Amino acid sequence: NEVSGLVVLRVAQVADFQEKLLREVAKGSDLGVPVTPQQFMFGTELLLENSNLDGNIKLMIREEVPRDRRDEALKRAPQTMNALLAISGAAARIADAGRFQLTPDDARELADLYRNFRRELLLLFATLPPDAQKRYSGYADALLAYEKDLTRDCKGGAAGGCLTEDDEPAPPAKGSPKAGQAPRDLAKALEAADARGDLESAAAPEAPPAWVPPAAKP
């Protein structure tokens, strides 16, 4: 079965992680590595390619959004993609200004944009029927828990998880995944969640309040 709605929710989780990271940079926290605008320029390109977000949004609207919510979803889809492009555009402007590391103000601006992107994703996700929202939220939580277990107390590989001397490297991915394609570890993650008894406990996340752009500086 296709899981396009899950991809939308997983990308929202990525946006949440990026926002939290940038909030730490804005506070002046030492992350141990430089945080550059180029990371977010290339990161948005990789996110688009690795998630096939555009294709999954179109498939979700066509196959899963109820007819009475479809017009709303069709209006939200370009807003969502534009919110992602705003991140790469802001990062490019920072780089063009000659700043090789983010200042606290730069980080705050990008964090706000990630917050807005996540909001648009979750509002789009909310056009799905409640049962689909609950199912995908359970899937997403199961994947997060599974990935945390894989990387706990071990040396992580390029794709996450533990490495041993006998591990064979994973073959490189070729192009974007097909729209609706399930994540590689979904079946294992669901099996682990079912064994813990928490597969049905997830609730759909709420979208954060509307983002208000900061006032222009004189």
Question: pLDDT tens digits for 56-108?
Answer: 999 999 999 999 999 999 999 999 999 999 999 999 999 999 999 999 999 99
The model's pLDDT over 181-217, given as tens digits with 9 standing for 90+, comes to: 555 555 555 555 555 566 554 555 665 555 454 554 5
Whole-number average pLDDT of the chain: 79
Query: pTM (2 decimals)?
Result: 0.75
Question: Can you spell out the DSSP letters for the chain?
Answer: ---HHHHHHHHHHHHHHHHHHHHHHHTT---SS---HHHHHHHHHHHHHHHTHHHHHHHHHHHTS-HHHHHHHHHHHHHHHHHHHHHHHHHHHHHHTT-SS--HHHHHHHHHHHHHHHHHHHHHHTTS-HHHHHHHHHHHHHHHHHHHHHTTTS-B-TTSSB--TTPPPPPPP-SPPPTTPPPTTHHHHHHHHHHHT-TT---PPPPPPPP-PPPPP-
